[in-house]
Structures are given as structure tokens and as C-alpha cells.
Amino acid sequence: MKYTEDHEWLRVEDDLVVVGITEHASTQLGDVVFVELPEIETMVTKGDEIVVIESVKAASDIVAPIDGEIVAVNDDLVDNPGLVNEDPLGAAWFFKIKADDLSQLDDYLDEDAYKELIE
């Protein structure tokens, strides 16, 4: 798994990258009350804001970590945004992206580097 400095986690599954937020981010946000997901088949560029998360404390965006096409979204989060707090590293994934170039993941942090970032 890779991590961004914006507290997203990135897990490669075959030629797809599954994206969610870390437990640290979930805790910082507080109780999540709203999630807006991108449309499937949307082409995104690294850095595009593609998800909106609102909590009792703040609103936040998730940006595309790589270039590619959104091929799946987790509709469960729309109906139950609290999943982000309950299971941020599992059931609360946000979207899956078919990467144009998986080597873009090389720029991100491994688990040890991410732990250093949040300490």
C-alpha cells in the first residue's frame, strides 16, 4: 500500500488502484455526514478534486492520486457516510481508478514514511 501526504491510501488490485482515506484522516475529520463521489467513466488527472467529504468538523476533498479512469465508486458511502469513521482502511474505500501509468505511484509514501509523517 502507498500513502499520500494528504492522508489517502492507495492499494493496487491488478491494474486498478483503490483509493480511501487513512485512519488518521478519518479521526481528524470527526463524524463524516456526507460523501459526494465522482461519476464512473470519468477521466481524471493527478491532482483533480474528485470527492467531497463533509464532517461535523470540516469539509475536505480527495484528489486524484494518478491519471486514469474512474471505473468503480463505493455507493455504500453515499447511503452510510459513517463507514468512513467505522472502517476507513476497508469497507470505506471511495473509488477505483484504472491507471494510465502505475509508475505514478512511485512518488508516494510507503507505510513507514507515512507513519513518520503523522507522528
- Is 111 within a domain? no
Integer Cα distance of 107 and 99 in angstroms: 14
**CA neighbor of 81 nearest in space, from 94, 69, 100:** 94
- Is 41 within a domain? yes
Question: What range does the domain containing 77 cover?
Answer: 2-101
Long-range contact pairs involving 10-15 (C-beta distance under 8 Å, separation at least 24): 10/65, 10/66, 10/105, 10/108, 11/93, 12/102, 12/105, 13/96, 15/98, 15/99, 15/102
Residue-wise pLDDT tens for the chain (119 aa)?
A: 999 999 999 999 988 999 999 999 999 999 999 999 999 999 999 999 999 999 998 899 999 999 999 999 999 999 999 999 999 999 999 999 999 999 999 999 999 999 999 98
**pTM score above 0.75:** yes
Q: What are 86-113's pLDDT values in tens digits? A: 999 999 999 999 999 999 999 999 999 9
- Is 70 within a domain? yes
- Quote the number of domains for the chain: 1
Looking up residue 77, the CATH number of its domain turns out to be: 2.40.50.100
